[in-house]
Amino acid sequence: MKISYHQYELTPIIKLNLFAKKQTREGCLLKIDWENGHVGFADLHPWPELGDVPLDQQISGLRNGKISNQIEQSIYLAKRDAIARKIGVSLFDQALRVKNNYLIADYSEVKMTDLDQVYARGFNTLKVKVGRDIGEDIKFVSKILSSGSFLVRLDYNNLSNWQYFERMMSAFTQAQRSRIEYVEDPFPYNEIAYQEARKFCQLAVDREYSKVVFAEGKKVPVDFIVLKPAIQDVEEVVSIALKHRIPIAVTSYMDHSLGVAHAICLASELKKKNDWLIVQCGCLTTRFYGTDPFSQQISIQGPYIQSISGTGIGFDSLLKNLPWSEVRMK
């Protein structure tokens, strides 16, 4: 196996999350050449702010023959891409488009009239990042919940604690709470506390997934799993979700268009096999960055990715023309 990379930068046009500090974000596209002649591509976009191993460390590790967990995922995705490219088919399923939620990373910049437009474009689910100011959180979220237009996913990214969560949920009426589809990573995972929290609403685990003990036949206080193919073992998550009958929300990793394409292609493939398994995705993240030749090839219509042309995950000519550096393994 030969690994080559192409380093890129993405320029955020709005604040991405509470952790993002830098102006531009760095990542690498990976090109994997297998001995059998297969060639596949994937993204590598670490978020050191969220605990990922920094990019340069992952690449230098590779030179010493050390494959990080994140690179392992990229290779897994690149392999899917390679197989499809070899036979000249697209991984993007035009016929089975998966709907996406509309992500509000920083609600301080969002007006209710903006959301009317979002609704008019066909979105019916909002995912809102919360957890830094309870007063503001309650004010904004209850406005959306009362409007009755949207289902809402609240993502605390572990920023809150039981008291914060309980105070916030208690501030909403039963009718308002019924508009909450789920609350994601409200606070660090704890079986008893999550069980308790479920009296208010359904719960999803994203980063907290790794702490859940999914023993055979055991009931877990988790209603949804957020799957990020960029960093999680897809096959493991899918087999657990199937066994425990927990629906999955596939999301991209606020990464390069290649990462977005992989996530959406995977989501529709999984949905085709088990319709109930895949709920609305969170893959429309290219709008958070300035446009580039790659993102321009992803055509988006309302909550759907409409098309990505080419074979595998697409971008054929762009990938062919990029300058690639081979990782020389010691």
Positions in the binding site for Mg ion (CB under 5 A)? 155, 184, 206
Helices (H), strands (E): how many in the chain? 10, 13
Choice between 155 and 255, CB closer to Mg ion: 155
β-strand partners of 4: 31, 326
Cα separation, 210 vs 206, in Å, equals 8
If we measure between CA atoms, which residue out of 283, 237, 276 comes closest to residue 260?
Answer: 283
Choice between 81 and 184, CB closer to Mg ion: 184
**How deeply is 32 buried, as exposed, middle or buried, from its count of CB atoms within 10 A (0-12, 13-18, 19+)?**
buried
> What minimum distance in Å lies between the beta carbon of 184 and Mg ion?
5
Choice between 8 and 47, CB closer to Mg ion: 47
Cα separation, 298 vs 300, in Å, equals 6
- Could you say which of 31, 127, 228, 271 is catalytic? 228
If we measure between CA atoms, which residue out of 174, 206, 164, 171 comes closest to residue 189?
Answer: 206
Choice between 40 and 46, CB closer to Mg ion: 46
Q: Is 111 an annotated catalytic residue? A: no
> What minimum distance in Å lies between the beta carbon of 189 and Mg ion?
13
- Could you say which of 129, 211, 243, 272 is catalytic? 129
Cα separation, 189 vs 185, in Å, equals 7
Cα separation, 136 vs 301, in Å, equals 31
Choice between 16 and 308, CB closer to Mg ion: 16
Distance (Å) of CA 55 to CA 77, 254, 285, 319 = 18, 15, 20, 20
CB closest to Mg ion, residue no: 206
Q: Is 228 an annotated catalytic residue? A: yes
Instruction: Give the residue numbers marked as catalytic.
Output: 129, 228
